[in-house]
């Protein structure tokens, strides 16, 4: 097959149907404000290299006030994304053009948000230059760039494994194997080789464990992660040099808890970094402290700091909503250094306010917990941790909820109908969040059964079991395939749990 249009990128198998909340520009406001940065109003947004396009499809449906554009050079993936958008009634403009073609289209607006997830590491320097030029020309002053990439030094020990996988596929892989077969063959080969105890394995005792983790991952994901021609993990300073021409400045991690030193570094490490004024060196050292493998960062064209009371005033206006059932609310948070307990005297009053599953302005939460001796600084820290732990999410500001809900309901029906035959999509769309909500295959079936008139958990479970029986499928529980009546019994248990814990949250989120 000719590979001119693929530019060395794997196209033998389609990419996984992942949803990435960091690509939601409406969600970017809160982490930026918590980091002390101005957040722009979002009117035009763009996702470059959108893969299967689940994220852009959900965002286009759930954000009627935002004009979405995007491209992915794989035509089958672009066709799927375009169809999802069309069926939702949204109006995103999605293309199957290479970056060099799309980025020079004369009909593109200037953007308030540009997102690239899982792209930068796997493209050529020529394409990186195209993207930097595009960001320089098309990102508005004050606009946000979200970019994720494989990071050094975290990849230093694992990079040789990736090299062997790709080298084995290039030299020993049979064309008829396909990329998934080549990936499996390469993993088996490396496993056999490491068993010979080369000095590399002795000097890197984590290599065997890393290979074990790799072997457990989805083969489609591995093919795209490891088997592309181009693959270049970078230090933070390298990324900074690349983006320098685009006039953007680093503004913080899109994963809120990454910004909390107390969860990820020792007090001595944090003090050492605090004394370093240069952002580039400080972020590089942070990556060394936590052995960072993957960065998810926001950059802004024209970084403006929110100082003192200006930051407090901006945060007070932001709204958040609880997205976790009461029995699952955490008592601990996990960082790089391990687990840390959440102080009941701070978190319980916050939970008490949020447990009505309505959006609350942070200022209103502040007023409600003030009588419990919770300060604003403590509240802001708690909001950061709860956001990073996916306990809360920002409520989309200024949404036309009626229009958003019409679109998301249409999209959700399409996704849920797909769950009748496959489990490849694990999210539905929420108009309240302007983004996605995790939804397993069976949860989607229960939702569909309810949409079709099912009133009880027994109705929802029976609907799902009828679908599975027709396809000769059984449930797997704790690694064991269920047989006979154990299947409907387990489905009833899951349906009851969904109705008790998940359905009220989905209802609050407009799902």
Please give the Cα distance from 295 to 292 (Å, whole number): 7
Going along the chain from its start, the domains and CATH numbers come out as 21-152+233-258+292-300 (3.40.50.150), 159-226 (no CATH), 319-394 (3.90.930), 401-508 (no CATH)
Contact call for residues 18 and 81 (beta carbons, < 8 A): no
Average of pLDDT values for 165-192? 78
pLDDT at 321 over 50: yes
Quick one: which of 32, 1, 8 has its CA closest to 301? 32
Give the pair of three-digit tokens for residue 290.
């936590």
pLDDT of 478 reads 87
- In this prediction, residue 209 has a pLDDT band, given cuts at 50, 70 and 90, of confident
What is the rounded end-to-end Cα distance, in angstroms, of the chain? 43
Sign, Cα dihedral of 35, 41, 42, 44: negative
Contact residues for 427 (Cβ-Cβ < 8 A; gap 6+): 19, 54, 58, 415, 436, 437, 438, 439
Q: Assign 99 to helix, strand or coil.
A: helix
Rounded Cα gap, residues 193 and 207, in angstroms: 12
The string over 272-308, giving b where at least 16 C-beta atoms fall within 10 Å of a residue's C-beta and e elsewhere, is: ebeeeeeeeebbbbbbebbebbebbbbbbbebbebee
The SS3 assignment for 116 reads: strand
**Contact in structure between 463 and 91 (CB atoms under 8 Å):** no
pLDDT in tens, 403-436: 999 999 999 999 999 999 998 999 999 999 999 9
- Tokens (6 digits) for 500: 């008790």
Q: Average pLDDT of 343-366?
A: 96
pLDDT at 227: 67
pLDDT (0 to 100) of residue 350: 97
> How far is residue 56's CA from residue 444's CA, in Å, rounded to a whole number?
20
Handedness of CA 419, 219, 120, 127 (dihedral sign): negative
For 323, which DSSP code? -
pLDDT given for residue 1 in this prediction = 37
Whole-angstrom Cα distance, residue 372 to residue 107? Answer: 55
SS3 316: helix
At 149, is the secondary structure helix, strand, or coil? Answer: strand
Alpha helix segments (H runs only) across 35-74: 54-62
The pLDDT of residue 90: 95
Report whether pLDDT(73) > 90: no
pLDDT above 80 for 47: yes
pLDDT of residue 54: 96
Long-range contacts of 419-426 (CB under 8 A, 24+ apart): 419/444, 419/445, 419/448, 420/445, 420/448, 420/467, 421/471, 424/16, 424/17, 425/17, 425/54, 426/17, 426/19
**Mutual angle of helices 486-497 and 457-470, in 10-degree steps:** 140
Residue 203 has what pLDDT? Answer: 83
Asked if the model's pLDDT at residue 179 lies above 80, the reply is: no
| Higher pLDDT among residues 226 and 462, named by residue | 462
Q: What is the mean pLDDT of residues 253-272?
A: 90
* Angle (CA) 267 271 276, round 5°: 150
148 phi/psi in degrees, rounded to 5? -120, 150
Sequential DSSP letters for 330-363: -SEEEETTEEEEPPHHHHHHHHHHHTT-S-EEHH
Alpha-carbon span 246 to 129, nearest angstrom: 10
pLDDT score of 186: 82
Confidence of residue 32 (pLDDT cuts 50, 70, 90): very high
Instruction: Give the whole-angstrom CA distance, residue 357 versus residue 351.
Output: 10
Looking at the DSSP assignment, which residues form a beta bridge with residue 400? none
More confident residue, 102 or 158: 102
Contact by Cβ (8 Å): 152, 235: yes
Q: Is the pLDDT of residue 232 over 90?
A: no
Q: How many helical (H) and strand (E) elements, i.e. helices and strands, does the chain have?
A: 23, 16
Residue 478, H or E segment: none
Comparing 486 with 169, the larger pLDDT belongs to 486
Q: How many CB atoms lie within 10 A of CB 175?
A: 8
**Contact residues for 25 (Cβ-Cβ < 8 A; gap 6+):** 42, 45, 59, 63, 66, 112, 113, 115, 144, 146
Least trusted range by pLDDT, from 47-61, 186-200, 494-508:
186-200
Three-state SS for 91?
Answer: coil
Burial class for 462, CB neighbours closer than 10 Å (0-12, 13-18, 19+):
middle
Residue 8 pLDDT more than 70? no
What's the number of CA atoms in the CB half-sphere (13 Å) around residue 351?
17
C-alpha dihedral sign at 359, 363, 364, 368: positive
């Amino acid at each position: 097959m000719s590979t001119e249009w693929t530019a060395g990128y794997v196209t033998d198998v389609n990419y996984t149907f992942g949803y990435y909340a960091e690509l939601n520009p409406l969600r970017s406001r809160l982490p930026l404000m918590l980091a002390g940065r101005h957040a722009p109003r979002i009117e035009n947004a763009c996702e470059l290299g959108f893969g299967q396009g689940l994220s852009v499809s959900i965002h286009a449906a759930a954000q009627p006030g935002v004009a979405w554009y995007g491209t992915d050079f794989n035509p089958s993936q672009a066709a799927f994304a375009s169809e999802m958008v069309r069926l939702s009634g949204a109006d995103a403009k999605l293309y199957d053009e290479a970056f060099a073609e799309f980025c020079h289209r004369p009909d593109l607006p200037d953007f308030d948000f540009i997102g690239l997830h899982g792209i930068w590491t796997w493209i050529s320097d020529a394409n990186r230059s195209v993207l930097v030029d595009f960001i320089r020309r098309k990102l508005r002053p004050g606009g946000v760039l979200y970019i994720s990439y494989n990071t050094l030094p975290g990849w230093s020990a694992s990079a040789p494994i990736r090299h062997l996988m790709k080298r084995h596929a290039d030299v020993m892989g049979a064309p008829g194997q396909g990329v998934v077969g080549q990936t499996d063959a390469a993993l088996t080969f490396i496993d056999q080789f490491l068993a010979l105890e080369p000095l590399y394995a002795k000097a890197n005792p984590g290599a065997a464990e890393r290979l074990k983790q790799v072997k457990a991952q989805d083969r489609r994901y591995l093919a795209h992660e490891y088997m592309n021609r181009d693959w270049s993990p970078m230090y933070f300073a390298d990324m900074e040099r690349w983006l320098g021409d685009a006039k953007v400045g680093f503004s913080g991690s899109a994963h809120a808890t990454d910004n909390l030193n107390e969860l990820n570094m020792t007090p001595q490490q944090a003090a050492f970094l605090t004394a370093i004024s240069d952002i580039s060196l400080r972020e590089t050292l942070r990556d060394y402290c936590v052995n960072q493998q993957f960065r998810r960062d926001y950059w802004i064209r024209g970084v403006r700091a929110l100082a003192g009371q200006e930051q407090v005033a901006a945060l007070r206006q932001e709204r958040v909503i609880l997205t976790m059932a009461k029995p699952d609310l955490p008592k601990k948070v996990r960082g790089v250094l391990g687990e840390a307990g959440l102080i009941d005297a701070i978190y319980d009053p916050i939970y008490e306010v949020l447990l009505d599953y309505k959006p609350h302005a942070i200022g209103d939460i502040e007023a409600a917990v003030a009588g419990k001796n919770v300060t604003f600084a403590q509240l802001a820290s708690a909001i950061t941790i709860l956001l990073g732990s996916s306990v809360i999410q920002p409520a989309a500001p200024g949404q036309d909820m009626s229009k958003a809900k019409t679109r998301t309901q249409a999209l959700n029906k399409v996704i849920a109908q797909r769950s009748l035959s496959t489990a490849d999509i694990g999210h539905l769309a929420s108009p309240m969040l302007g983004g996605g909500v995790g939804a397993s295959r069976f949860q989607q079936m229960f939702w569909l059964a309810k949409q079709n008139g099912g009133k009880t958990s027994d109705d929802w479970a029976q609907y799902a079991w009828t679908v599975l029986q027709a396809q000769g499928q059984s449930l797997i529980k704790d690694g064991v395939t269920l047989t006979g009546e154990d299947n409907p019994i387990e489905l009833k248990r899951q349906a009851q749990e969904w109705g008790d814990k998940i359905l009220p949250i989905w209802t609050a989120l407009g799902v």
